[in-house]
Structure 1
């Protein structure tokens, strides 16, 4: 439900506070209105988003794959790192809300909010957890949140807007960033010609966040997955390569794959 996150939100047009305007909208004192979709997420954009994010097919594959527990090692690491408190946990680029839900389970007094531009993703994120709200918002634009209102910000395989993340995070808050390590899904990359991890990615992440945060440490997590042919196809379907391949035409087979990610903890500079 969006109500738990409501005290932390601000109007994306004028920056004023937001409140309920009936069952299906939020409104600011200057009468800017924002619709709440039937599925529960609210659209908090100040104009048309430049892109629509992951497709319905990609989100369906992601939900199916995550439900099998293959990426639980990531969710567990995030949950073990979060400090339970009564603040707001923000998931920037939330997808289905899978990781946000796991973090909220470890922080029983916190409220959660997931931001994404994919409507198919938000339909699931809005019901991912009783204390999680979901909002349509472009991470590259000013976030529809009050200054210094976020206790924990998680960012898993998603864009990083350093200045905005710093603005909304408490001075003693924590930013958790998960990015693919160099050998992430290397077996699939080799077998199916998928898009590999850019060797310059760590430097680009550092450049994006370096002016606003300092890194407190990075842990590389690895997990070996034995996948069936169906799971292989599903995993490919949730990756960026799905935009360039015909998933139905892939002749998938059983395969052992290495999932490898870097989890970096950042504190505000």
Structure 2
């Protein structure tokens, strides 16, 4: 609900660029400051921008964030969120600090914190995304969440050995950075698509494909930094309506591409499916003690 709940987990990105990593940030009114004088204004919506440059053109727009919220609210990915929350609940910290890298509007982070709360464990979270529109939405979380604008492909503005649990759900990921910010024995939960994920929709509309060998490459790069613990596959066929399918396409990378078929005269796609395949792998990885 407030950056003040998680500021102790954050690090000054300007100091890190000058080879002074893990310089802390502290709240000072509506600003976060480091001891060396670097200051970052907290937006009136409650998030802070630690990106240090212009927002990239492929960051999610407000329209994309709204489409994502509508799609996730449809229940189509509830099984994915449930698997993620169940895996998170198996981690050991009593009051875990959770980092969601590529958090979008914070939906998955909220589900994880809600499950922990159900078990009497008060967690707190950092929702990190390169999109200011996503961060604005994540800052409205009812849980103890601080929303940060930052690039998942760069050094994360998070202190080393700071978080108990790191999430990466359909998002860019750097296993070396996840290992750095996790406490010894901490856990990373990584959700990525299997080859059959949305297969019929992708084929019908010419959407971006799942790269061949994606799971093998992910496992190889992660195993250089973290220990594999478990793999949990979630496979479901979900009934959807036309509006939900349109939101699914509009919320992600396909919004920046125009490979899918043109709408018919009714304003939708003539062959909009009424079911989609959900097929993802949840990888559980552990930082060695």
**TM-score past 0.5 threshold:** yes
The equivalent residue for 1:221 is: 234
Match of 1:20 among 4, 23, 27: 27
Match of 2:60 among 46, 54, 60: 54
Q: What is the deviation of 1:266?
A: 0.4
Structure 1 segment 62-211 matched on structure 2, within 5 A: 62-82=68-88, 83=91, 85-108=94-117, 109-211=122-224
Contact 2:7–2:25 under 8 Å retained in 1: yes
Distance change (3 Å), C-alpha of 1:46 and 1:230: closer
- Segments ≥4 residues shifted beyond 6 Å: none
Please give the per-residue CA displacement for 1:184-206, whole angstroms capped at 9, x wherever unaligned.
00110121111111112112212
Structure 2: how far apart are the matches of 1:216 and 1:43?
34
Query: Secondary structure, in 3 states, of the residue corresponding to 1:107?
Result: helix
1:251 aligns with 2:269: yes
Could you state the TM-score of these two structures normalised by the residue count of structure 2?
Answer: 0.87
Structure 1: how far apart are the matches of 2:245 and 2:48?
33
Contact 1:54–1:118 under 8 Å retained in 2: yes
Contact 2:237–2:277 under 8 Å retained in 1: yes
Contact 2:51–2:130 under 8 Å retained in 1: no
Contact 1:160–1:208 under 8 Å retained in 2: no
Q: Report how many residues are paired.
A: 268
Contact 2:74–2:244 under 8 Å retained in 1: no
Structure 2: how far apart are the matches of 1:37 and 1:12?
17
Q: What is the deviation of 1:124?
A: 0.7
The equivalent residue for 1:261 is: 280
Query: Structure 1, unaligned stretches of length 5 or more?
Result: none
Please give the per-residue CA displacement for 1:224-256, whole angstroms capped at 9, x wherever unaligned.
111111111111112322211289835153521
Could you state the TM-score of these two structures normalised by the residue count of structure 1?
Answer: 0.94
Please give the per-residue CA displacement for 1:8-57, whole angstroms capped at 9, x wherever unaligned.
111111142111121x2111111100111121111113444555522222
Aligned Cα RMSD in Å? 1.8
Please give the per-residue CA displacement for 1:54-90, whole angstroms capped at 9, x wherever unaligned.
2222211110010111111111111111136213111
